[in-house]
Structure 1
Amino acid sequence: MSAVPMHPEATDDPQAVRWVVPAGTLPVVGEIAEAPDELGEMLRSEGVAAIEVETRAVMIRLADGRSWSRAGARVRDALAAALRQPREWRPAAAVGEDDVLRAALRDVLDGSIGDYIRSHGGEVTVVSAHDRRVEVRMAGTCTHCPAAGFTLHSRLEAALRDRFPGLVELRATEEPAKAATRTTWLTLRRRGSCPPDPGRP
């Protein structure tokens, strides 16, 4: 297998670096219990404190007392070699394709696409995500918005497909509109203005 393109991103934690990789590089998400070759040895020897796989990145946290200035090149090379063996990565908990799909969807909705939707007063919640199909519910200003279809397909679906290339379908339902309250106006007559009762003298 050829080399997998990757590049590092700093995080708020000085011990952790997020290594960005193409979506779908690894068939697992979440905390990793075992990685191939030298990267796995680092994890077992506690030089690397934790490895967590995201849909488009591998987060590696060094053990306390270790520094990226000293260990960075070795970790980079070990990660590059390990990425060429995607079937040898073992998650700490059982992970299926649906878990990878849900992680990709969460990544999209928690990121810039979700921020864009929320900034316009919209809301997207997950109804279901399984068998490579996703259903979401659009609410807030997304309900009956003429641009909702564009947002759904050109933004949300494109970002999700980038993270989960096997996506078959993204479907949206709208939150039912609240029942309109009908106001009935009653005309009240003033006292003494009622018409005379024909049965009274």
Structure 2
Amino acid sequence: MSVIPMHPEATTDPQAIRWVIPAGTLPVVGEIADAPDELGTMLHSEDVASIEVETGAVVIRLADGRSWSGTGARVRDALSAALQHPQCWRPADVVTEDDMLRAALQDVLDGSVGDYIRSHGGEVTIVSAHDRHAEVRMAGTCTHCPAAGFTLHSRLESELRARFPDLVEVRATEEPGKVARRTWLTLRRRSA
């Protein structure tokens, strides 16, 4: 059994740490109702207040009165062991494939791809994520940028596909009220 790589990142909440893991390690997103082994025990005890899974991270919030200096090593070891059993993680709500796609797309737009687009005065928002198809709306300087298609295809595709390998296509549209121009980007699976 190989160890899943992970590292901690601070959050604005001193009781919470974001444990970065490879995207797609867990088949769930959102709040967790139960986790495997010791991590599940800690969630149902007075040690851990909540666990939330993102496409590339697990955010663990300690219960009030607990500290990372006192409990952190146990949480880290418990998370490492729990990651070995991805099928045993239970979300608080039913998670669909559409939820997974939307979360992956939001993660990409909140990360370096979104930062790049915003740095040029552009904006990309999610319109829909359904049946392995994603649609985003381009606004700001992206609206008439001749490189917008390239940015979406080269940057968004690789990042999104890393988090959601079953992606079929991304549809990119412009902000309503602008010159109607629809750009359809079909993302093909790369051969291994």
Residue 129 of structure 1: how far off its partner (Å): 0.8
Partner of 1:57: 57
C-alpha separation between the residues in 2 aligned to 1:26 and 1:122? 31
Query: Equivalent residues in 2 for 1:69-108 (5 A)?
Result: 69-108=69-108
Moved more, 12-21 or 32-41: 12-21
TM-score, L = length of structure 1: 0.82
Structure 2 residue identity aligned to 1:13:
D
Gaps of 5+ in 1: 180-201
Equivalent pairs counted in the alignment come to: 179
The alignment status of 1:155 with 2:161, answered yes or no, reads: no
- 3-state DSSP of counterpart to 2:134: strand
CA contact (8 A) 1:23 1:165 kept: no
Gaps of 5+ in 2: 181-192
What are the superposed Cα offsets for residues 113-144 of structure 1, whole Å, 9 maximum, x if unpaired?
Answer: 22322332222222221121112122222123
Structure 1 residue identity aligned to 2:87:
R
The alignment status of 1:166 with 2:177, answered yes or no, reads: no
The alignment status of 1:6 with 2:11, answered yes or no, reads: no
Partner of 1:27: 27
Partner of 2:129: 129
Q: RMSD in angstroms over aligned alpha carbons?
A: 1.7
CA contact (8 A) 2:5 2:22 kept: yes
Structure 2 residue identity aligned to 1:133:
H
What are the superposed Cα offsets for residues 162-183 of structure 1, whole Å, 9 maximum, x if unpaired?
Answer: 222222222212346359xxxx
- Tell me the percent identity: 80
C-alpha separation between the residues in 2 aligned to 1:177 and 1:148? 15
Partner of 1:37: 37
